Amino acid sequence: MRRILGLLIALSLASAVTCVEPDVVGAVPGTPNVIPCEKTFGEALLFSQFRSFGNGRSPQMRFGIPKSGTLVASSAHLQGGWTPGMNVIDFTYNRATNRLTSYMRNALGQEWVWYYENVSGGLAFLGHAKTVDDLNALLVTVSNRDEGTTANLRNVTIDGAALDADPSTPTVDDFLATPAPQRNQWTVAGLDFSGGFDLHANLEIGGTFGTSPDLSSVIFKFGYLEPSTPALSVSGGAAIEGSGQPVPFRVGVNGAVLSQISVDYQTLDGSATQPDDYTAMSGTLTFQPCGATSQAFNVGVTGDALPESLERMSVGLSNPLGATIATATAVGTITEAASDISLSVGDVMISEGAAGTSRVRLPVVLNHALATPVAVQLQVVGGTATPGSDYFNQGPRTLSISPGNTSAYFEVKVAGDTVVEGDETAAGVLFNAIGASIGDSVGVLTIQDDDSPSTAAVQAYVSDASVAEGDSGPRYVYFTIALNRGASGRVLVNYQTVAGTASDGQDFRGRAGQVVLGRSKRSVTVSVMLLPDVIDEVDESFNLEVVSVVGPAVIGADPNGTATIVDDDLP
């Protein structure tokens, strides 16, 4: 492809030659959208630059296209310089004649014109998949570095259509960079250059332009913006009741905001309801071009003295303008204050064994599920059992309970021997809780001696448990069904709940079932759902009993575990 770069002579005031601005076969542009900032579209596929040289030297005009990673550019100088008043700038592409033209004229009438001819193939850009037919955006940059001088770009048109740089002002075609030093940029999107283009502007100078050592300039860069439809999403957070903290929400746009976007939002009830648990909100969020791509708002939490489980509400988006909705709703969670959330460690028993090590787990239980993580440290300290000989892995170690869960376990290794020594004990102690208080801080680990001649068989037993009743559910009490030592084979333990002063169906939900134990698995936790109420009453209890045992074990001497439901209602 042959390109010829032609230079027309400089024209002075005395010249009789008149520059004829080219007639351009240009397509009527689409609806231009002037964005008052730079939205980068990658490397400019075509550019035209009109700049001062600095230090009072004459202005320079450059334009070109990318080629093999470099710009094929031409330059010329306007000897009289930019002068006070209206200077003229033109940059055109005539698709019919395949000619690029860059033109400038100062207020005194001095002119320069450069032609870039024989641009074939629709101005295909080497190294790019795009051609001039694909260009749809323009980046306008106006820089004024001259103190005491005003420099404003006015009367900007493309194919005769005026570009409105600031819709809030009465003048529709001003691109201002005054006073100095100042540099402003605008992205013009929604254009159509497929038939060519005629870009015209006046550079209005007040004072001496180009005397600063720094360059003052007007730059037009043509490029391609991928068409896209902005999408809105909402996300939610969590708050602790009674802390004074609100539930945070955020609405965001998935990319740059090129035109105004708005969306309505409204709070929605879940297990948390307004006005009892939170303050209802609704409104409209507006995103301005070149502004923030996300906005946050807070939903106030209504504190109360009632112990409650984790509660949820949500925020929904609707009626979007200028965008679609990708995520329409987000959940916010309200949790109890740490003083109302407590951790307890349970008691466990394990048969010592004759050799090697066995594993037993101390259960750490949270009385409410939370939307935030809870952490606590646990260390096993010796009683009659000796750390390092009777048991190992004593800690301390940090246990974490993830959001929505209520339990974690601390594993201890117990050493077996053949010494007749009686049962021994150690204690698991909780401390340094984060996100909850500590209720029952000590859990007893009983290591049952199985070397006594009186031990005839493996026995199954159930531990006792205790829990505050609460006012609303769900809430659970946890029993441990265990063997006093490892069995030689698979043991099936059948269990059922038995009402006491607590009634099945009124105070708890009865259940029956079967657990599998054996040599390595010596204990299992069984949960029973409570049915909280707000009635002031005495503490109540019910049992979980071992009904039958199948396998190499028998029902132990303590087959019934008693659950005490502690009444926490005020008279």
User: What is residue 53's predicted lDDT score, i.e. its pLDDT?
Assistant: 42
pLDDT tens readout for residues 241-280: 777 789 999 999 987 677 789 999 999 999 889 998 899 9
Q: Which of 335, 358, 377 is the last residue of a domain?
A: 335
The answer to whether residues 238 and 309 belong to one domain is yes
Contact predicate 437/405, CB 8 Å? no
pLDDT in tens, 478-501: 999 988 877 778 889 999 999 999
- From the CB of residue 201, how many other CB atoms can be counted at a distance below 10 Å? 24
Look-up of token digits 């030093």: 181
pLDDT digits (tens, 9 = 90+) for 438-456: 889 899 999 887 765 444 5
Name the pLDDT band for 377 (thresholds 50, 70, 90): very high
* Strand runs labelled E in 58-179: 60-67, 70-77, 85-94, 99-105, 111-117, 137-144, 150-158, 161-162, 175-176
Distances (CA, A) of 93 to 125, 157, 224, 229: 14, 14, 17, 30
Strand 85-94 with 197-206, pairing? antiparallel
* One domain, residues 16 and 113: yes
Torsions phi, psi for 352 (to 5 deg): -65, -45
CATH assignment of the domain containing 492: 2.60.40.2030
Mean pLDDT value of segment 196-212? 73
DSSP secondary structure string, 266-332? EEE-SSS-TTTTB---EEEEEE-TTS-SEEEEEE-B---SS----EEEEEEEEEEESSEEEE-EEEE
HSE, side-chain direction, 13 A CA sphere, residue 561: 25
Same domain, yes or no: 168 and 219: yes
Q: How far apart are CA 468 and CA 485, in angstroms?
A: 31
Say if residue 132 is in the same domain as residue 16: yes
The answer on 215 and 253 residing in a single domain is: no
The larger pLDDT score, comparing residue 435 to residue 5, is at: 435
Residue 280 Cα distances to 276, 283, 298, 302, 333, angstroms: 10, 11, 11, 11, 14
Mark whether 38 and 184 lie in a shared domain: yes
Residues 303 and 273 reside in one and the same domain? yes
The pLDDT of residue 354: 77
226 burial via Cβ count (<10 Å: 0-12, 13-18, 19+): exposed
Residues 539 and 406 in one domain: no
Query: Is the same domain home to 156 and 276?
Result: no
Q: Taking a C-beta distance cutoff of 8 angstroms, is the pair 235, 249 a contact?
A: yes
CATH number at residue 56: 2.60.120
State which of 335, 366, 383 marks the end of a domain. 335
Domain count, the chain: 4
- pLDDT at position 154 is 80
535 — pLDDT class (breaks 50, 70, 90): confident
Q: In the predicted model, what is the mean pLDDT of residues 419-428?
A: 81
Same domain, residue pair 432 and 490: no
The arrangement of strands across the sheet holding 357-366 comes to 391-392, 407-415, 357-366, 342-345, 437-438
* Band of residue 223 on the pLDDT scale cut at 50, 70, 90: confident
* Residue at which a domain ends, from 178, 200, 223: 223
Residue 519 is part of which domain span?
A: 457-571
Q: Global pTM?
A: 0.46
443 plus 478 within the same structural domain: no
Is residue 496 located within the same domain as residue 524? Answer: yes
SS (H, E, C) 207-253: CCCCCCCCCCEEEEEEECCCCCCCEEEEEECEEECCCCCCEEEEEEE
Q: What is the DSSP track for 482-519? A: EESS--SS-EEEEEEEEESSSPBTTTB---EEEEEE-S
